[in-house]
């Protein structure tokens, strides 16, 4: 099951209490105070992991507590420090304070580790309070409480290219033809219910990662259809592929569909429309009216974008599409964390 949001409560361990004790050993005159200090409570860390791709582990268990430190003992024995607790999250997870919304950390690198909550310090035993004027103190300290916080976790998948468009425009079919990903494909709306990732390979060991998200419809920013809840997964992408259906099976105007999806992207985040975008006219093998392609080309040119025609079923235009995407990524320079790489 794919889960990209979770709310958790974390609390570090309390420190152990100090001890009140006195030496009572034979042949030790005036033994004096011998109470040891308490141990430190366990810290709570959070670490990014490539072995996870969902937050499902936080669906049922949402409260995490580190153990408290051991109390001090006689003979000035220090209490044992509690073990630390490490929570793992997928790379691409954003941790925010649940109350204020303040960013705690954005995990972009594998094995990146941060300290979330510091364990409480152990209390001092009575041996720490001995002085020239108080040689037999009975004073001690309780352990200090560990830090606690409420967190909201959001997963944003790391990919180089994001696919957007209306439902049933061929996004899942395209990613299945370009990569080894095998998303569900069927002839009804909202076949894709969760994001899918696929690695597209080219010659000379070059590759990039494509993310397919559920389709958008008019009013998605108001919660219609599946809403815009999955758009966060393409916020990090460097390039957008905007697929538009030219088959006309649904009786919609492709140029109108194109503008509708753009409005939904702008409602979610205006920066999305500033990303390098390639308009892809899909299902041209089933196109029955060439004026739709001309209108889509005109709409793309008005925004300064190129339009590329493909058929994911017949394979027409797919190889040139991969080359064109690679060229866009190369022009953007540094690769994304999703895996765009070259042996050059």
Structure confidence by residue, pLDDT tens digits, 308-319: 998 888 889 899
Report pTM: 0.76
Residue 261: name the closest of 276, 275, 251, 272 by CA.
272
> For the segment 177-187, what is each residue's pLDDT rounded down to a tens digit?
888 767 655 55
Measure CA 295 to chain center.
38
Question: Where exactly are the structural domains of the chain?
Answer: 1-155, 161-332
Q: What percent of the chain has pLDDT over 90?
A: 40
Higher pLDDT, 111 or 222: 111
How far CA 248 is from CA of 169, 242, 287, in Å, comes to 10, 17, 7
From the candidate CATH numbers 3.40.50.970, 1.10.8.870, 3.40.50.300, 2.30.110.10, the one assigned to the domain spanning 161-332: 3.40.50.300
- Spatial separation of the C-alpha atoms in residues 44 and 175, rounded to whole Å: 39
> For the segment 193-237, what is each residue's pLDDT rounded down to a tens digit?
577 888 888 888 788 888 888 777 776 666 665 566 678 888 888
Q: Are 233 and 195 in contact (CB under 8 A)?
A: yes
- Those residues whose C-beta lies under 8 Å from the C-beta of residue 281, and which sit 6 or more positions away, are 244, 246, 254, 293, 296, 307, 308, 309, 310
Instruction: Say whether domain 1-155 belongs to CATH 3.10.580.10.
Output: no
Q: Say which residue the tokens 């409570």 belong to.
A: 41
- Spatial separation of the C-alpha atoms in residues 180 and 271, rounded to whole Å: 30
Q: With the CA atoms of 287, 293, 294 and 296 taken in that order, what torsion angle do they form, in degrees rounded to the nearest 10?
A: 150
């Amino acid at each position: 099951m794919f889960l990209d949001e979770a709310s958790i409560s974390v609390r570090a361990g309390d420190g152990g209490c100090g001890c009140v004790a006195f030496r009572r050993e034979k042949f030790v005159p005036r033994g004096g105070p011998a109470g040891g200090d308490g141990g430190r409570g366990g810290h709570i860390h959070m670490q990014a992991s490539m072995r996870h791709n969902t937050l499902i582990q936080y669906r049922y268990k949402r409260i995490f507590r580190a153990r408290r430190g051991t109390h001090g003992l006689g003979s000035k024995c220090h209490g044992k420090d509690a073990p630390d607790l490490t929570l793992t999250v997928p790379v691409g997870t954003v941790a925010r304070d649940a109350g204020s919304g303040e960013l705690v950390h954005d995990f972009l690198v594998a094995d990146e580790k941060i300290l979330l909550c510091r364990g409480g310090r152990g209390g001092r035993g009575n041996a720490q309070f001995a002085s020239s004027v108080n040689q037999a103190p009975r004073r001690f300290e309780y352990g200090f409480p560990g830090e606690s916080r409420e967190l909201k976790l959001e997963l944003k998948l790391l990919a180089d290219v994001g696919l957007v468009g209306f439902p049933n425009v061929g996004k899942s079919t395209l990613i299945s033809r370009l990569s080894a990903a095998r998303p569900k494909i069927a002839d009804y709306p909202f076949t894709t219910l969760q994001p899918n990732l696929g690695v597209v390979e080219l010659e000379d060991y070059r590759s990039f990662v494509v993310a397919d998200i559920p389709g958008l419809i008019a009013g998605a920013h108001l919660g219609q259809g599946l809403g815009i809840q999955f758009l966060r997964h393409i916020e990090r992408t460097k390039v957008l592929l905007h697929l538009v259906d030219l088959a006309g099976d649904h009786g919609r105007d492709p140029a109108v569909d194109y503008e509708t999806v753009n409005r939904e992207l702008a409602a979610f985040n205006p920066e999305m429309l500033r990303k390098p975008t390639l308009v892809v006219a899909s299902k041209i093998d089933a196109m029955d009216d060439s004026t739709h392609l001309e209108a889509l080309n005109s709409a793309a040119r008005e925004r300064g974008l190129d339009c590329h025609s493909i058929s994911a079923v017949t394979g027409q235009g797919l190889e040139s599409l991969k080359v064109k995407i690679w060229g866009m990524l190369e022009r953007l320079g540094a690769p994304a964390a999703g895996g765009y790489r070259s042996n050059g």
